[in-house]
Structure 1
């Protein structure tokens, strides 16, 4: 499945864009863009693809997609049958993370919004959004100027206070997708990303790069990353495997090898543990997307 770059830049000199889309079906392209995207699904159902996440979407879903994170909304088959009774309707807001200026969100009063923007790099789903939040997003379409900006900031503030948020894409997929652009990566993380698919990476060799004993490094790594070293490496490998399955026509055995696994049984086990599905099931879900894209 080919990944497309879409130019979502706003040409009207506004700091962000708000579009009310009404189509027979949503755009069937696996794509990314430098802008963040806040979407409200007003009508239609289907399957949502965000990074390596594959989930159903429905009316009332509120999703925040981070910059450069690949995604697509694929409507159910019935939406492609030329039925005049079905519509795919959504409100999409596109904005850069510095849409208010480079240092604006660094102010104390807006650091919570900056934190939300940082979290959005994985893709976020706001479960059971309040009616008031949905109404604010819908009303944004008709506003202009200062009122529009203030309303949007108010929406972002509401999202930071939402209690039930689901992270969509795995950290492993995200890290691999962005690895080439991350100049602040520590030496140990840089080593992991350069060598994760070359076979076994021992805790001892990575610890030596940090000039620490294996036990001290292990404790420090888990404290900083929230998971053990082995869990982290497996997450990166499976994230990369998802990228290979998404964007290349590789079979499972090759993907297993390319991701650093010499044992396909272990690969299958780790894949299901991290993604919640087997590699075969994952391919089947994406196969539908590929066929539709080719039409």
Structure 2
């Protein structure tokens, strides 16, 4: 799963963009961008990937994604049927962290919004949100530029004050995907995402980083706060969770599809990372 950078920058005459998406299915690209993204899914189901969070999604959810946080909404298989009539719909708002200037949110009255924007770096899900706020998001493209701006600040204020927020991605994953000027590091992450379902040899990855294996291991742990092996296992188990949620393969098949060649090791790593066995995860997911 290759990570792509997308340009979501605003037009010259506006500080943020509002786009209503209505397609047979959402964009199937694991991507990130400089802009924050507020998404209201109005019609669709599938699996949502934000950082190392992998969860089912459905109509009505509202998500705030921070700067440079990788994400993707993957629709259920029936959305991709050639003769299908299903539609995936969502309203997406893209804006820069400083879209109103560097110091605007430093005002004491806007402290909660500032904290919301800071916390968005993990990805946030808003539970039991007032339908009026959802409607405000959906109709934000209406009116003059000034009216839209005032309504958008109003929306951010309500989201900031909302009590039922769930943090989606982990600190370790966030540190991994901070945008850097280290092209070798970017190549390492790309290599892992393209090859995690196969055998990955440490010496080959170290060569990409132009380091010897020992130096690379120390470097990787310092950057990611986990060993290279732990990181690869988390990516593999995350992918296994996705496959389990789709109910297409049995657990043994998923073990091999996720890059493991030993079912006992797969079960051990799965429980270590998720706290459940694959069968327990599958049963829990069927009930959710």
Q: TM-score, normalised by structure 2?
A: 0.69
Q: Is contact 2:46-2:57 (8 Å) kept?
A: yes
* In the alignment, structure 1 residue 174 sits paired with structure 2 residue 182: no
Q: Structure 2: which 5+ residue stretches go unaligned?
A: 182-213, 240-256, 283-288
**Could you report, residue by residue, the CA deviation over 1:215-250 in whole angstroms, capped at 9, with x for unpaired residues?**
xxxxxxxxxxxxxxxxx9569985564357779x98
Cα distance, 1:83–1:265 mapped onto 2, change above 3 Å:
closer
Give the C-alpha shift of residue 269 in structure 1: 4.8
CA-atom RMSD, angstroms? 3.6
Q: Is contact 1:171-1:239 (8 Å) kept?
A: no
- Alignment equivalent of 1:242, drawn from 216, 234, 238: 234
Q: Structure 1: which 5+ residue stretches go unaligned?
A: 182-193, 207-231, 254-262, 283-295
Aligned to 1:286: none
Cα distance, 1:94–1:179 mapped onto 2, change above 3 Å:
closer
Give the C-alpha shift of residue 267 in structure 1: 5.1
Residues in 1 aligned to 2:228 and 2:173: alpha-carbon distance in whole angstroms: 7
1:11-90 alignment runs, 5 A limit: 11-83=11-83, 85-90=85-90
Give the C-alpha shift of residue 175 in structure 1: 1.4
Residues in 2 aligned to 1:237 and 1:15: alpha-carbon distance in whole angstroms: 42
1:150-169 alignment runs, 5 A limit: 150-169=150-169
Q: TM-score, normalised by structure 1?
A: 0.67
Cα distance, 1:264–1:135 mapped onto 2, change above 3 Å:
closer
Aligned to 1:288: none
Give the C-alpha shift of residue 13 in structure 1: 2.5
**Could you report, residue by residue, the CA deviation over 1:126-163 in whole angstroms, capped at 9, with x for unpaired residues?**
01221111111112121221110000000000001111
Partner-residue secondary structure (3-state), 1:99: coil
Aligned to 2:3: 3
Aligned to 1:133: 133
Say how many residue pairs are matched.
Answer: 229
